[in-house]
A and B are shown apart, each in its own frame.
Chain A
Amino acid sequence: MEKFVQKVSFKLLQLGYKSIQFLFYLNIFIVFFIISRGISYAKDSIKSSAQLSYNLTETKAGGKKESSQQVIQRYNLGLIKSITPKLTFFSDLSVFVKEENDEKSTFVSPNLRLNVNNEYFDGSTGYRLTEKEIEIFGIKPNKDRYTNEFWNMKLTTKIKKYPKLKLNYSEAKSYDHLDEHQTNNKRKEFSLDLDYGWSFLNFNYGYRKDIVNNYVTESKQMTDTNKGGIAFHKTFKNKQITTSGSYVFTHTKIKTTTQGEDVSVEEMQRSYGGLYEKDTTPDTGSLNTYSSLVDGNKVTSTGIDIGGGSAGTYQNIGLDLNSPIEIEQIRVYVSSSSSFDAGSFNWSVYYSNDNLNWTLIINTADFTYDPDKNMFEISFTKTKARYFKVVDINNDIIPGIYVTEIEAYSKTVYPAFSTTIEETLSQKIQFSLGYKLTDWCRLHYSFLQNQKQTKPDGKRNSSQSHFFTARVKKDINKHLLSWAEYRRSWKIETDIPDIVTDTYLVHFRFIPIKQLASDLSLKYSELKEDYKLNSRTTTVLLKTQANIREGIDLNVSGKVTHLDKMENESVTDTQFIDSTLWVKLTRTLTSEFTYNRQWTITRSSTSKTKGDTSSTMITLYWRPSGEFNLRATYGINRDELKGTQTTQQKYSLNWFISKKVQTNMNYSIDKGDSLRYKYSFNLSWNLSRTFSLSCSYDWTRIEAEEVAEIQSLNTVLSARF
């Protein structure tokens, strides 16, 4: 107890000292502000703001306790001076100081700008200096000093009857102050854009030149980009026929000149499919398609747990690059509810050209783990192949380390003392034609084309998409409306089989009375790859919305899908039901009950898998007055087949105590493999017209194999003049 009191007293003293420091520097700004304001012209504007924030975070996990303290000071002083009605001068100074435990970080950034605005053009020129990690207010930062300088000039014309012209020129310098620079580069950019609309046509042209000089690697890169296009939009026959289209070309030329060092640039390679199998003999065996591994979603779990000791090892996680491509790095993204030891992992890397026979590249690859991006970066010798996979042969004993995404990277190396020229020419065409035959019948056709050619490798890539839609609408009677539609989409892309999709849709909407509406949709689609039938899908969807009586609303939807996949001779049947009942119990109390359930059966020639999941949620919302409201939610997610379930409870209270003070409290409990409690409290106080104070407290407790507790206190004092 004594130690605790001493610790708290010490921390309060530290905070008190920081506050005194903050007030001292704030006073300097206030005095400066008052002097300037006192003799300034009434039309000028001077603004100033200052913020002091204090954050204390304590984490207890595995018997260890860590605490971290952060104090941030922010100051800003700005001036707007109208030299003439059309000429304005802006200036701004920002100062930032951060102290986190023993780490100190600062920056200072003055900014000057001159603006010209008249009826013919808007123009401006300006200079910005950013000094990072310099000594200020007696605080010496831990990191090395770094400087950014930026100067720019821009002009935009405003006369409507002439083409609109935009001109931009900028120069930027970034460098450190070390004896041997690690960063020292300069960038110049010039761009010109012309836009002109005439009748139903619109023309545009843009030119951009970028020159980047890297004085550390002694390399220079010059990029010239020419971009232009024409677009149109026209209607005929009293808007019965609408057409629109555009053509855009882009030509980019990149010239890279190196001196004494090789320069390498990394590039992500596009994945055409994810692959997965749990296989303790990874040398042979096909991996199954697993599309969620390459859907771009780095947050949601794919369900692949690579943790948990031996139970989680030999997860074969891979990707299909569609054709042999040389790569040298694979990145695996994860999500985990608790921290884990990335160093416990060992990764093997394999390649294949047939997704059956795998060749080992390396048994234990070099890798790093980035906790900010939740990403394993696994590196290996440059290898060219179509399929790659990584296998975790060792891991952390903590379960629940779920893979979210996998990516493949290659590096382009520009050798020393060389000049490389790369050119890219791309052309994009888009065209759309709509024809309203009658009030109840419409036709539509769209065409999209992308062509890309690169030099010197001579790669050509072309993709075309055609969309055709025919739709009819019929009001059968005043209660029953119907639509029927036929859609065809046809996609052609280099090195990928042509994909043709035919979809037939029929939709009925039945509104017998104002309070009841039902929608029935029937959809049948066929997908063909290279003109061979690949899959057939039939979907029936029924939705009903009923206003049972005032204050009671019911929404129910049911969906049945039957999917036939020819390539692996599998059939998947899915049934889904979703219902929501919303009830206004009293004038101040409403409730919502939601239930949804999904059944899935997948049958193939070799296996049969089933899935049955449900989710139930009840929400109560009580708002007795405009100053107080309370929301409580209880939810259950069940896997009906496995018999497992997770529950969540959330409570949120908002209370407007007075004009100066309001609080917000949130409390949640998650019950699953781990028990999670979360509580947060927020208080804001308007001290005066100039000063305001806000405080927040957050507490999280996770009970899994270990108990972890995190609490954080944050206080912010703001001043604005």
Chain B
Amino acid sequence: MWLVRKKIILFMWTICVLNCTGCLEFPVQNFQANRGGVVFMYISCQPKLNLDVSFEISALSFMNSRGEWIKISLNKVVDSKQLRNKQFKLAEISLPPGRYHKLKLEVKRAKKTRKNKTYSLALANPSGEYELSFDLDILPQSSNVFFLDWYPEASVVHKYLFKPKFNICNSSNGLKNLLLYVTCSASNSVLVINRQEDKVVDVIGVGNAPKGIVANPDGRKVYVANFDSKDISVLDPTLNKVITTISNFDYSPLDLALSKDGRWLYATNPEANCISVIDLGANVFCQSIHVGNDPGAIAYDPLRQKLYVLNRGDNSISVVDASSFQLETTIMVGLKPMDLNIFEDKLYITSPDTNNIFVVDLTSYTVEKIIYGLAQPTGIIGGLFGNMYLSLEATNEVAFWDPGMGITLRNISVGSSPEKLALDSSRRKLYVLNRNSEDISVIDLNQETVKTSIQIGKDPYDLVILN
């Protein structure tokens, strides 16, 4: 007992001493920037306008509490035609920690369009600089967001002068059962999207390189795997904040799955060819289970109490018994399997390298069928009326697919490199994460068209809906 206490005391003193040795300076610019906060800026305007206005921003500047301006080059065109019913991500920047009171936009030029005729506007301020007051508190390694509501018609004064009129809003949280969460690895953030309006409403700073994300069945918690910082952030979706972090990991977690009772969290560890089991009662790592080479996606089967893990390195699926934590069997499938989904008692696996979908019978754990000829299927999800939805990377489309016949019923164009999918069955919407174009396409399943697209952070990886 005394030995244990000694170890703990020694550990805590080690932390203290190491903190004190932080007096040594290492001049690393990049590192400094990384320790600041990430700021997302979104702009939108009202849907109905008599007049369309556009302007070009060359730079943004932020004034801190010491009166210093920090300038960020931008070069973006804001056009009210594109903003109707849609949000536009103006910027995603990194700012040093501190309090900021003013925002300055440097406008290069502005135009108005009325009845198909375009006219240049003079800038009310010859320098093109327009200041706005606001309050933004940036903590180290935090993620922040603010929204500019732009009034295009009110921004044109005396019919020829451009004087932009904005209202700045901070983040808001909404009803948690209306929310969608997206991990953006390069932004170290989770974006929160309101599914009623299909707009970003908040940003949550998590660990480094967030990847897999999964929500509790009762919608009370969301878990995010942070690959680089080797921990898991636990979010409260009511408050949109991280309430605790589960660390103690020896290997980086990638994808996540949750048991039906919410007691166990499973994370794939591609570095170590294993999956980690986390006891959510105590928030601690429990044990690891060896699977195949380079495990990626993972799914939990609540009926059979099994875990299915895709091994990208040896083209197989590992079947793990979730009650005994034992590896049961390994099933050979196609090259570099990417995603999997349990639908109507069968397991569907996409293999974009072979353009195939493998269908595995979950009673005998054998491959029952191979569907060929799809254009690099990446993501797959079970949908409405017995259909499934596939994201096709080669053609940047989402396919409505009949799994019984193996036939594509319809293709819809989305963004670049579509991957993961999430279904909102109440509102009949499908959310498609487009990795290259860094946005989410929202498909109306009644009309079978893309309703809108939502711009998100850098290097998006996964998404989850709270129902």
Interface residues of A (CB under 8 A from B): 32, 35-37, 39-47, 49, 51, 72, 74, 76-82, 84-85, 89-94, 96, 98, 107-113, 122, 126, 128-131, 134-135, 150, 152, 154, 156, 166, 168, 170, 191, 193, 195, 204, 206, 208, 227, 229, 231, 233, 242, 244, 246, 248, 291, 294-300, 373, 428, 430, 432, 434, 436, 442, 444, 446, 448, 450, 463, 465, 467, 469, 471, 483, 485, 487, 489, 491, 505, 507, 509, 517, 519, 521, 523, 541, 543, 545, 547, 553, 555, 557, 580, 582, 621, 623, 626-629, 631, 654-656, 659-660, 662, 664, 682, 684, 686, 692, 694, 696, 718, 720
Bound state CA distance, A231 and B141, in angstroms? 42
Chain B 227-252 interface 0/1 with A at a Cβ cutoff of 8 Å (1 = within): 00111000010110111110110110
A79 touches B405 (CB 8 A): no
B250 touches A152 (CB 8 A): yes
A91 touches B11 (CB 8 A): yes
Which residues of the other chain, A, contact B18 by a CB distance below 8 angstroms? 79, 81, 89, 91
User: How far does the Cβ of B8 sit from chain A's closest Cβ, in whole Å?
Assistant: 6
Which residues of the other chain, A, contact B273 by a CB distance below 8 angstroms? 166, 191, 193, 206
Does B14 interact with chain A (Cβ within 8 Å)?
Answer: yes
Known: A244-B353, A662-B176. Is A298-B244 also a contact (CB below 8 A)?
Answer: no
B283 touches A297 (CB 8 A): no
Bound state CA distance, A621 and B178, in angstroms? 13
Q: Known contacts A41-B24, A129-B7, A720-B244; can you find 13 more A-B pairs with CB under 8 A?
A: A40-B19, A45-B141, A90-B230, A204-B314, A231-B335, A297-B304, A299-B305, A432-B354, A432-B356, A444-B370, A463-B366, A521-B402, A664-B176
Chain B 1-36 interface 0/1 with A at a Cβ cutoff of 8 Å (1 = within): 100100110011011101110111110101110010
Does B447 interact with chain A (Cβ within 8 Å)?
Answer: yes
Checking A168, A233, A543, A580 against B353 with a beta-carbon cut-off of 8 angstroms, the contacting residue is: A233
A582 touches B7 (CB 8 A): no
Does B362 interact with chain A (Cβ within 8 Å)?
Answer: yes
Bound state CA distance, A543 and B437, in angstroms? 35
Does B369 interact with chain A (Cβ within 8 Å)?
Answer: yes
Bound state CA distance, A78 and B355, in angstroms? 45
Checking A41, A204, A629, A694 against B293 with a beta-carbon cut-off of 8 angstroms, the contacting residue is: A204
B196 touches A626 (CB 8 A): yes
Which residues of the other chain, B, contact A78 by a CB distance below 8 angstroms? 231, 245, 247
Checking B141, B178, B239 against A626 with a beta-carbon cut-off of 8 angstroms, the contacting residue is: B178
> Can you list 10 A-B contacts (CB < 8 A)?
A46-B19, A85-B28, A96-B284, A166-B272, A298-B305, A432-B354, A446-B370, A543-B385, A547-B447, A555-B385
Which residues of the other chain, B, contact A168 by a CB distance below 8 angstroms? 271-272
Which residues of the other chain, B, contact A446 by a CB distance below 8 angstroms? 356, 370, 372
A39 touches B178 (CB 8 A): no
Which residues of the other chain, A, contact B14 by a CB distance below 8 angstroms? 91
A692 touches B236 (CB 8 A): yes
Which residues of the other chain, B, contact A662 by a CB distance below 8 angstroms? 175-176, 238
Known: A206-B293, A246-B315, A430-B332. Is A41-B174 also a contact (CB below 8 A)?
Answer: no
B363 touches A193 (CB 8 A): no
Which residues of the other chain, A, contact B251 by a CB distance below 8 angstroms? 154
B241 touches A300 (CB 8 A): no
A49 touches B426 (CB 8 A): no
Does B83 interact with chain A (Cβ within 8 Å)?
Answer: no
Bound state CA distance, A24 and B153, in angstroms? 58
Which residues of the other chain, B, contact A428 by a CB distance below 8 angstroms? 316, 332
User: How far does the Cβ of A546 sit from chain B's closest Cβ, in whole Å?
Assistant: 11
Which residues of the other chain, A, contact B284 by a CB distance below 8 angstroms? 94, 96, 107, 109, 130
B373 touches A471 (CB 8 A): yes
A154 touches B272 (CB 8 A): yes
Main secondary structure of the interface of A (DSSP, over half): strand
User: How far does the Cβ of B444 sit from chain A's closest Cβ, in whole Å?
Assistant: 11
Chain B 360-404 interface 0/1 with A at a Cβ cutoff of 8 Å (1 = within): 001100111110110000000000111000000000000000101
A110 touches B426 (CB 8 A): no
5 closest Cβ pairs, A-B complex: A41-B22, A684-B238, A444-B372, A296-B304, A40-B19
B4 touches A131 (CB 8 A): yes
Chain B 162-194 interface 0/1 with A at a Cβ cutoff of 8 Å (1 = within): 000000000011111110000000000000001
Main secondary structure of the interface of B (DSSP, over half): loop
Which residues of the other chain, A, contact B306 by a CB distance below 8 angstroms? 296
Bound state CA distance, A541 and B403, in angstroms? 13
A686 touches B241 (CB 8 A): yes
Which residues of the other chain, B, contact A469 by a CB distance below 8 angstroms? 370, 372
A128 touches B323 (CB 8 A): no
Checking A36, A170, A244 against B16 with a beta-carbon cut-off of 8 angstroms, the contacting residue is: A36
Which residues of the other chain, A, contact B35 by a CB distance below 8 angstroms? 42-43, 45
Known: A91-B14, A126-B250, A297-B304. Is A627-B175 also a contact (CB below 8 A)?
Answer: yes
Bound state CA distance, A471 and B315, in angstroms? 26
A654 touches B302 (CB 8 A): no
B238 touches A432 (CB 8 A): no
B248 touches A128 (CB 8 A): yes
B250 touches A442 (CB 8 A): no
Bound state CA distance, A191 and B290, in angstroms? 11
Checking B245, B250, B409 against A49 with a beta-carbon cut-off of 8 angstroms, the contacting residue is: B245
Bound state CA distance, A128 and B334, in angstroms? 38
B245 touches A110 (CB 8 A): no
Does B47 interact with chain A (Cβ within 8 Å)?
Answer: no
Which B407-446 residues have C-beta < 8 A from chain A? 407, 409, 426, 428, 446
The closest CB in chain B to the CB of A97 belongs to B282
Which residues of the other chain, B, contact A42 by a CB distance below 8 angstroms? 35, 140
Known: A41-B22, A195-B313, A297-B303. Is A85-B31 also a contact (CB below 8 A)?
Answer: yes
Known: A154-B272, A547-B447. Is A629-B373 also a contact (CB below 8 A)?
Answer: no
Checking B25, B236, B241, B362 against A296 with a beta-carbon cut-off of 8 angstroms, the contacting residue is: B362
User: How far does the Cβ of A157 sit from chain B's closest Cβ, in whole Å?
Assistant: 12
A692 touches B241 (CB 8 A): yes
Known: A41-B23, A297-B303, A656-B175. Is A134-B372 also a contact (CB below 8 A)?
Answer: no
Does B68 interact with chain A (Cβ within 8 Å)?
Answer: no
B11 touches A110 (CB 8 A): yes
Which residues of the other chain, A, contact B176 by a CB distance below 8 angstroms? 654, 662, 664
Which residues of the other chain, A, contact B28 by a CB distance below 8 angstroms? 85
B177 touches A244 (CB 8 A): no
Bound state CA distance, A36 and B229, in angstroms? 21
B175 touches A629 (CB 8 A): yes
Does B197 interact with chain A (Cβ within 8 Å)?
Answer: yes
A233 touches B354 (CB 8 A): yes
Which residues of the other chain, B, contact A89 by a CB distance below 8 angstroms? 18
Does B76 interact with chain A (Cβ within 8 Å)?
Answer: no
A39 touches B177 (CB 8 A): no
Known: A76-B247, A91-B14, A442-B373. Is A684-B236 also a contact (CB below 8 A)?
Answer: yes
Checking B15, B366, B402, B406 against A36 with a beta-carbon cut-off of 8 angstroms, the contacting residue is: B15
Bound state CA distance, A298 and B259, in angstroms? 14
User: How far does the Cβ of B141 sit from chain A's closest Cβ, in whole Å?
Assistant: 7
Does B220 interact with chain A (Cβ within 8 Å)?
Answer: yes
Checking B242, B372, B447 against A442 with a beta-carbon cut-off of 8 angstroms, the contacting residue is: B372
B248 touches A294 (CB 8 A): no
A291 touches B313 (CB 8 A): no
The closest CB in chain B to the CB of A49 belongs to B244
Interface centre among A85, A152, A170, A246 (most CB of B within 10 A): A246
User: How far does the Cβ of B385 sit from chain A's closest Cβ, in whole Å?
Assistant: 5
B372 touches A432 (CB 8 A): yes
User: How far does the Cβ of A696 sit from chain B's closest Cβ, in whole Å?
Assistant: 7
Which residues of the other chain, B, contact A541 by a CB distance below 8 angstroms? 404
User: How far does the Cβ of B194 sit from chain A's closest Cβ, in whole Å?
Assistant: 7
Checking A94, A291, A297, A299 against B248 with a beta-carbon cut-off of 8 angstroms, the contacting residue is: A94
B174 touches A627 (CB 8 A): yes
B15 touches A109 (CB 8 A): no
A49 touches B243 (CB 8 A): yes
Bound state CA distance, A373 and B316, in angstroms? 29
The closest CB in chain A to the CB of B30 belongs to A85
A557 touches B23 (CB 8 A): no
The closest CB in chain A to the CB of B172 belongs to A659
